[in-house]
Structure 1
């Protein structure tokens, strides 16, 4: 595979269906970080997920790599801000400060997609959309999105934007995976289920899924009696083990791995969807990319999801 397929976020922004996460990239190990980003770019990948809460080192690694390659104009940068850090920070001032910090770390002066990392139901969608649009008007970003919002709040926000002449939200970044979480992996996180997926199908709003591979649940490194405590807490259930069994069946039929099947499930939705991945090596990156060659019919995807 030489070119990752793309989806359209706005009229002027397209991003590859596999989005590279940045949490595992560190300025202190630029050789390793560059190897992964080089491999991603060689596949035709063009979108890197960053966030203020991820810390200084990974943002600086992305910035140093873009400066070395002189490719900032070719890379779609997702920047996330206003994470609560234990207390509400959903204000225009915190949004702007988080972006300015990101610019300094990454040696840039804009992000392509600015997302709010969490929701704050105490703040009206009107205040939030007006604040985000101000950032857009200042040239700090090229489009707007949210992470870990319910589809009800997104719909409310975009209806407000339409009725008030504002730029609406262009994408949603919740958790979507074949393995359904027993509980939120991190506080304030949102996963999507059947009704949410139907809403996305109706609206065709692009979905950028984090933890799309369920923390490695489908890689075969875990079994019912062993595993990382967090993965056990979030994903161990009889329903998910049944999904794993079905993934094994389809993997055998299609000459793929169970992890390929799980990622193909995410990418086979009937609306624009991307998967955020966090490979720790070029080999893991290429393993994830192989899932793009696995085709699942709607019936197969529905069968996998039933437990």
Structure 2
């Protein structure tokens, strides 16, 4: 495993991390979850990602139980949660968003579900137009000073919103956000590569990117339609299905063919491409089975093995 600093902080995260989005509490049982976390740990993964909204908090319960059962040393791994969407099935106004109350309540609920005394990373899962950024920054600062959180950050915030958070923190001597968790993959590059470009040097911002496979589009499984039981076939995934138009499918088929020519699984190749960006601190992996996870972990070797000419062909295949 390779370890990378979270931006300019002193925290070193595994270049490949393991996340619970969609899978834990929904698609996999506790036995499989235990097997996946154990395999990730055995391969050097030290960052496990979660959120209050994943399976209405059940993903955090499963992860917390599994890690406790494995008796992993607390000083050897990092865990995250995210606040915004709430964990209630039908949240009331105070059970969601980024108000001081919900940030406080959600943090303590996540600590209980994950069975930890503190969160290593705590993300604002989306910007909250109903709450002043200054209030959220102050709430996060308070949690850090209480020892409940070590690093806080944002997820899918605009560059302008991140700058405002830093301005408020500087003006009031508060702890500023250290990281952002954006979507980043071969199909979604603009925000990480262009919009955030000035922020890496300006604020020392790290990134823990999600959806390196574009929710499965880059695996090749959707090249000929949407298989029953796949992620895109689930309720609520219509927004992803809309991306499967003719031109996109042809590009995905070119990418899959190139992966076969290079002797690499499409998913492994897509993850390896993300690792090439020096502003990516950690790439979040998700898996429903051990074979899938082990294949994805091969991305480190693929990233180091392929030459620049091959990577240029990879990018051109999806142009």
Smaller-chain TM-score range? 0.7 to 0.9
Aligned to 1:45: 45
Aligned to 1:35: 35
Contact 1:247–1:261 (Cα < 8 Å) also in 2: no
Contact 1:146–1:172 (Cα < 8 Å) also in 2: yes
**Given the alignment, which residue of 56, 73, 76 partners 2:75?**
73
**Given the alignment, which residue of 11, 14, 17 partners 2:12?**
14
Distance 1:177 1:119, change over 3 A: same
Question: What RMSD, in angstroms, separates the aligned Cα atoms of the two structures?
Answer: 2.9
Unaligned runs of 5+ in 1: 182-190
**Given the alignment, which residue of 272, 278, 288 partners 1:280?**
288
Aligned to 2:195: 196
Aligned to 1:104: 112
Aligned to 2:207: 207
Deviations 1:122-144, CA, capped at 9 Å, x for gaps: 43322221111011111110001
Q: Equivalences for 1:40-189 in 2 at 5 Å?
A: 40-54=40-54, 55-68=56-69, 69-83=71-85, 89-180=97-188
Contact 1:268–1:301 (Cα < 8 Å) also in 2: no
Equivalenced residue count is 295
Unaligned runs of 5+ in 2: none
**Given the alignment, which residue of 282, 289, 312 partners 1:300?**
312
Distance 1:29 1:238, change over 3 A: closer
Distance 1:60 1:303, change over 3 A: closer
Distance 1:113 1:159, change over 3 A: same
Contact 2:154–2:179 (Cα < 8 Å) also in 1: yes
Contact 1:51–1:79 (Cα < 8 Å) also in 2: yes
The TM-score with structure 2 as length reference comes to: 0.81
Q: Which stretch of structure 1 is more off in the superposition, 239-248 or 10-19?
A: 239-248
Deviations 1:190-210, CA, capped at 9 Å, x for gaps: x83642253455555222122
Contact 1:52–1:79 (Cα < 8 Å) also in 2: yes
Return the offset for 1:271.
1.5
Runs of 4+, deviation exceeding 6 Å: none
Deviations 1:224-257, CA, capped at 9 Å, x for gaps: 5445353752431455335424533542453212
Aligned to 1:289: 297
Return the offset for 1:294.
1.9
Contact 1:56–1:105 (Cα < 8 Å) also in 2: yes
Q: Which stretch of structure 1 is more off in the superposition, 233-242 or 283-292?
A: 233-242
Aligned to 1:5: 2
The TM-score with structure 1 as length reference comes to: 0.84
Q: Which stretch of structure 1 is more off in the superposition, 165-174 or 253-262?
A: 253-262
Q: Distance in 2 between matches of 1:288 and 1:201?
A: 27
Q: Which stretch of structure 1 is more off in the superposition, 283-292 or 198-207?
A: 198-207
Secondary structure, aligned partner of 2:98: coil
